[in-house]
Amino acid sequence: MKRGYWGAFGGRFVPELLMPPLLELEKAFEEIAPSRTFREEFDGLLADFVGRPSPVYRCDRLSEELGLNLYLKREDLNHTGAHKINNTIGQGLLTKHMGKKVLLAETGAGQHGVATATAATMLGLECVVYMGATDVERQSYNVRRMKQLGAKVMPIESGTKTLKDAINAALRTWISDQKTTHYCLGTAAGPHPFPAMVKEFQSVISREARRQMLEKTGRLPDVVVACVGGGSNAIGAFADFIGDAGVRLVGVEAAGTGEPGCANSAPLNLGSPGVLHGTRTMLLQTDDGQIMGSNSIAPGLDYPGVGPEHAYLQATERAEYDLAVDAEAVEAFHKLSRAEGIIPALESSHAVAWVLRRAGELKGKNVLVCLSGRGDKDIDIIEEAGLAKEGASR
Ligand SMILES: *Cc1c(COP(=O)(O)O)cnc(C)c1O
């Protein structure tokens, strides 16, 4: 297989000016990241700073109710509350080894900004986070967290003032300051080597989970389920199971409100192949190739593209990709909170929702859900949408 490609997907479709920093990064990923020094440092930080390994927890109450064995890979227990920190520490450490001083990041909901600011500060790097001005207003809590951690937040006033404008601004700075900066992409998408590199840093999820499931149940899980935004927690949760043909891999995309023709964040289910942000993948586009606006109640899933390896796993039928609508995710959010004492991120709630809906066909199975993050950040969204649930009921 050609480097940076998964079948017809992946690649590096970028302007000439971006090639030097991408080639430099590719070299660092191939030469520095596999070295023993790097591995030991990375593993040490994942253990002592992030709190890994994250546990696998069996949901006794929900398992009984659903007639299956539901296990959660607890990425919500990581420092900063989600899987994103695995990737930002990996890229931050690589940046340091490359002799650069600044981490640049784009962020929509602010979660990746917080994870990048955290890793940068811990590693002694500067951090500049680009964020659409609209998102800065919507996500003031995360903006305040980034500032508290010492990051510089740059509100972007151009275009729609959201994620894609922030990406463009971060890329412009990377091009002009490539000697001193690294662009820390937040998901397993973008031009080569980002999808392969982010997968590598997130694959700790399935490396741990494989061992933990064997220890707890004596065998591999029957099904592994993860939500898919850009695809980083899902590819990390799938990685070490891809070679095990008996393990069913399920990615769950956000279908938006579910009304006919509604905006969604489900390029694998509802999109078509094309090029976005430097990679050939499945994306939401009009017939003449204009990128469509995406939507989901889960801010972290709200992206019109997806990592190229997922497009390949779908095309080769090694993984399947299904949908969950906003209301199902909210129901799963309440269900897990009330049955298990775990408030899941609205993103992760999409994966839980799939299990709730398909429980009938999963009877007796060992189902492992990647609980990508915790939902404390989403309580305001639930309340503002009038979807909060009062005490005492299950
Ligand atoms: C950002 C985020 C996601 C979506 O990103 P992926 O790259 O698809 O994993 C999912 N869950 C949580 C908690 C997030 O913060």
What pLDDT is recorded for position 195? 98
What pLDDT is recorded for position 81? 97
What pLDDT is recorded for position 393? 63
Atom of ligand 1 nearest to the CA of 186: 7
% of the chain residues with pLDDT over 70 = 99
Test site for ligand 1: of 83, 306, 376, most ligand atoms within 8 A of the Cβ? 83
Judge whether residue 177 has pLDDT over 80: yes
92's tokens: 């931050």
Q: List pLDDT tens digits, range 209-241.
A: 999 999 999 999 999 999 999 999 999 999 999
Tell me the CA–centroid distance for residue 29 and ligand 1, in Å. 23
Place of tokens 């430099």: 24
Tell me the CA–centroid distance for residue 252 and ligand 1, in Å. 12
Place of tokens 């993984």: 319
Question: Do the Cβ atoms of 232 and 87 come closer than 8 Å?
Answer: yes
Judge whether residue 163 has pLDDT over 90: no
Tell me the CA–centroid distance for residue 75 and ligand 1, in Å. 11
Q: Give the number of other Cβ atoms within 10 Å of residue 287's Cβ.
A: 6
Q: List pLDDT tens digits, range 309-345.
A: 999 999 999 999 999 999 999 999 999 999 999 999 9
Judge whether residue 22 has pLDDT over 60: yes
Judge whether residue 303 has pLDDT over 80: yes
Domains of the chain (ranges, CATH numbers): 5-46+84-198 (3.40.50.1100), 52-81+202-392 (3.40.50.1100)
234: amino acid identity, one letter: A
The verdict on whether 59 is a catalytic residue reads: yes
The verdict on whether 350 is a catalytic residue reads: no
Tell me the CA–centroid distance for residue 161 and ligand 1, in Å. 21
Q: List pLDDT tens digits, range 372-384.
A: 999 999 999 999 8
Q: d(Cα 364, Cα 64) in Å, to the nearest integer? A: 10
What pLDDT is recorded for position 2? 75
Nearest CA to 28 among 20, 370, 308? 20
Residue with CA at minimum distance from ligand 1 atom 10: 347
Q: pLDDT averaged over the chain?
A: 96
Tell me the CA–centroid distance for residue 14 and ligand 1, in Å. 25
Active-site residue identified among 79, 83, 184, 334: 83
Q: What is the mean pLDDT of residues 60-84?
A: 98
Q: Count Cα atoms within 13 angstroms, Cβ side, for 351.
A: 31
Q: What is the mean pLDDT of residues 76-103?
A: 98
Residue with CA at minimum distance from ligand 1 atom 2: 300
Q: d(Cα 305, Cα 302) in Å, to the nearest integer? A: 9
Residue with CA at minimum distance from ligand 1 atom 3: 300
What pLDDT is recorded for position 391? 78
Nearest CA to 121 among 145, 149, 147, 140? 149
What pLDDT is recorded for position 245? 97
What pLDDT is recorded for position 160? 83
Judge whether residue 1 has pLDDT over 60: no
Between β-strands 102-107 and 181-183, what pairing exists: parallel, antiparallel or unpaired?
parallel
Test site for ligand 1: of 114, 233, 369, most ligand atoms within 8 A of the Cβ? 233
Tell me the CA–centroid distance for residue 231 and ligand 1, in Å. 7
Active-site residue identified among 59, 127, 184, 227: 59
Q: List pLDDT tens digits, range 106-159.
A: 998 899 999 999 999 999 999 999 999 988 988 899 999 999 999 999 999 988
- Residues with CB under 6 Å of ligand 1 are 82, 84, 111, 187, 227-234, 300-301, 345, 347-348, 372-373
% of the chain residues with pLDDT over 90 = 91
Q: List pLDDT tens digits, range 186-214.
A: 999 999 999 999 999 999 999 999 999 99
Which range is least confidently modeled, 112-126, 156-170, 347-361?
156-170
